[in-house]
Amino acid sequence: MADGTLAPPLSRSTLDRAAHRRADPDWLAQAWSGARVLRLDVQAGGRALVRTDTPQPTLVLAEADELVPELAAEAMFLGVEPDGVPVFCVHTELPTVPNTRSANLRQIGHLLGDRDAGLFTTALALTNWHLRHLYHPVTGEPTRTAEGGWSRVDSRGERVWPRTDPAMIVLVHDGVQGTEGRCLLGNNVSWPSTPGQRRFSCLAGYVEPGESAEATVLREVHEEVGVPVTDVKYVTSQAWPFPGSLMLGFLAAADPAHPVRVDPTEIAQARWFSRQEIGAALAGRPVDVGGAELRLPPPSSIALFLIHRWFDGQC
């Protein structure tokens, strides 16, 4: 799955979330004593330990009995593994363990197996939600962790639950098969600049209140590059916990003859790329984009998954 062609890297999981257990404090307390625990260092941007002495990076999970008891109070219940063992996540500094290194989800999400990708993605998404809801949005009161980490409650008993922000991401193409087919990618003004390189990716944007995801595709593409699209097709979705989005992936068709007019507040540059150019970039061969070398989206992103799908003719 590392090349993004089978499934979006962060949409994979083998975990039973066992949501009915979240409101059962007695069960959670008993489950903790024999649980596996994923440690996340939130001070380091949500990094976890992974093994380096295996062919594939593997998360290092601790046994709950090895950890200080104080961590249990804020532990987040992620679910139950296929072998029946509960899994929790805690926020703590990472220890030094031989044959391991710390890594974040962006770096290794696409390299992890289904089980670890699901654990890390869920843990980071839930963690980021907690960090943004230390106070109740209505009462302003401080909140504490409740329901195994799946809600927060203030002193008045007012409760908030995790929410995810829906966003669409779309690969715009011309509908032509073969090497001459083209797709439209953009370079966002907010992306960090690397000398001699320029990243291009799919167009994306948040779904606004009262708007469907399909309507967001039409609006965002028109706002960002001034191009009308048709034949909007939903493909798949993927969590993007940076900090808390659900990316809804689409394909859409457009006419390359239509002028591209970028919104300079969002898009620094946008242009059409042939399937031949994209293939070269995927293979690691240089593709010139105005004096810089083309860089495609990172492997853990749904953007690269959509590009692979179009490149393989699945549109």
Domain annotation for the chain: domains and CATH numbers: 9-131 (no CATH), 165-311 (3.90.79.10)
Provide the CB-side half-sphere exposure for 127 (13 A, CA).
Answer: 27
The encoded tokens of residue 20 equal: 């009915």
pLDDT at 288 over 90: yes
Distance CA 146, CA 33 (A): 18
What is the structure's pLDDT at 269? 96
Residues in the chain: 315
Q: Is the pLDDT of residue 1 over 60?
A: no
CA angle 297, 302, 308 (to 5 degrees): 75
Q: Rounded to the nearest 5 degrees, what angle is found at the Cα of 59, between the Cα atoms of 54 and 65?
A: 120
Q: For position 7, what pLDDT does the model report?
A: 86
Across 290-294, average pLDDT? 94
Tens digits of per-residue pLDDT, 19-63? Answer: 999 999 999 999 999 999 999 999 999 999 999 999 999 999 999
- Pair 186, 201: CB distance under 8 Å: yes
Q: What is the pLDDT of residue 314?
A: 81
Integer Cα distance of 245 and 164 in angstroms = 5
pLDDT at res. 60: 97
How many other CB atoms sit within 10 Å of the CB of residue 99?
Answer: 10
For residue range 104-150, what is the model confidence (pLDDT) as tens digits? 999 999 999 999 999 999 999 999 999 999 999 999 999 999 999 99
Confidence category of residue 3, pLDDT binned at 50, 70, 90: very low
* Three-state helix/strand/coil letters over the chain: CCCCCCCCHHHCCCCECCHHHCCCHHHHHHHHHCCEEEEEEHHHCCEEEEECCCCCCEECEEEHHHCCHHHHHHCEEEEECCCCCEEEEEECCCCCCCCEEEECHHHHCCCCCHHHHHHHHHHHHHHHHHHCCCECCCCCCEEEEEHHHCEEEECCCCEECCCCEEEEEEEEECCCCCCCCEEEEEEECCCCCECCEEECECEEEECCCCCCHHHHHHHHHHHHHCCCCEEEEEEEEEEECCCCEEEEEEEEECCCCCCCCCCCCCEEEEEEEEHHHHHHHHCCCCCEECCEEEECCCCCCHHHHHHHHHHCCCC
Cβ burial, residue 135 (10 Å; 0-12/13-18/19+): middle
Compute the average pLDDT of residues 73-89.
97
265-280 burial by CB neighbour count: b if 16+ within 10 A, else e?
A: ebbebbbbbbbebbee
Higher pLDDT, 313 or 304: 304
pLDDT per position as a tens digit, 249-287: 999 999 999 999 999 999 999 999 999 999 999 999 999
| Per-residue confidence (pLDDT) for residue 4, from 0 to 100 | 39
pLDDT for res 193: 86
Percent of the chain residues past pLDDT 90, beyond the cut: 95
So what's the pLDDT on residue 49?
97
